[in-house]
Amino acid sequence: MIFPSRKLALKSPFPPADTARLLQGAVRPRRGWWSQVWSRGAGNFMGEVTENSFDIVRDIPGRNSFLPNVRGTIVSDIVGSRINVYMKMHASTTGFMAIWLFFTVFGLLDAGRVWYGAWKAGKHMDPHFCIIIGSMAVFGFLLMHFSFRPEAKRAENFLKETLKAEVDPSTGRDRAL
């Protein structure tokens, strides 16, 4: 799993219509890109909630490109409702990080090839360039995961508290996608 994401299922004791109403009451509408740039960010969530689905993101001051986009569906269950949640990074952030990782890994492989060729020919070549490029790849990977995970946990806790829900034991959470 190169790019962080989280998939989980929650069970709420409320019927789907009440679950959607509870979520609508806790989520403010998204007004456009400027609302996120100029937001004072109370830490609440903003987005769209319909009768059977939602698409929300946490409202914070400034900009954090690694905030998870939280999408989900609300379906009827035996008792109450089941909320299927999928969290992932914004598409433009994922695209940028894909390019970052591609070029750093490609650069590392190419630098390693050149360094190996010099070593095989008996020439001394400083390995610092390989270390720097490798560090950039590791930094990009860790940046994504350590920025995404705490925010995904906040979103999960928000949904659990707002909807009085628990993680569905039959599906668990953090399944590989």
Most confident of 36-50, 60-74, 83-97, 106-120: 83-97
Q: Model confidence over 31-64: pLDDT tens digits? A: 766 655 665 655 689 999 999 999 999 888 777 7
Query: If you ran DSSP here, which 8-state letter would residue 38 be given?
Result: S
pLDDT band at 104 (very low <50, low <70, confident <90, very high): very high
- b/e per residue 80-97 (b: at least 16 CB within 10 A): bbbbbbebbbeeebbeeb
| Highest mean pLDDT of the ranges 12-16, 64-68, 110-114 | 12-16
Do 152 and 4 form a contact (C-beta atoms < 8 A)?
A: yes
Is CATH 2.40.128 the right assignment for the domain spanning 5-89+150-167?
A: no
Measured between alpha carbons, how far is 79 from 170 in angstroms, rounded to an integer?
15
Rg of the chain, C-alpha, whole Å:
21
Domain ranges of the chain: 5-89+150-167, 93-137
DSSP state letter for 136: H
- Torsion, Cα 97 100 105 111, to 10 degrees, reads -170
SS3 22: helix
Tell me the CA end-to-end span of the chain in Å, nearest whole number.
8
Distance CA 170, CA 81 (A): 14
Query: If you average pLDDT over residues 108-113, what whole number do you get?
Result: 89
Is residue 97 within 8 Å of 73, Cβ to Cβ?
no
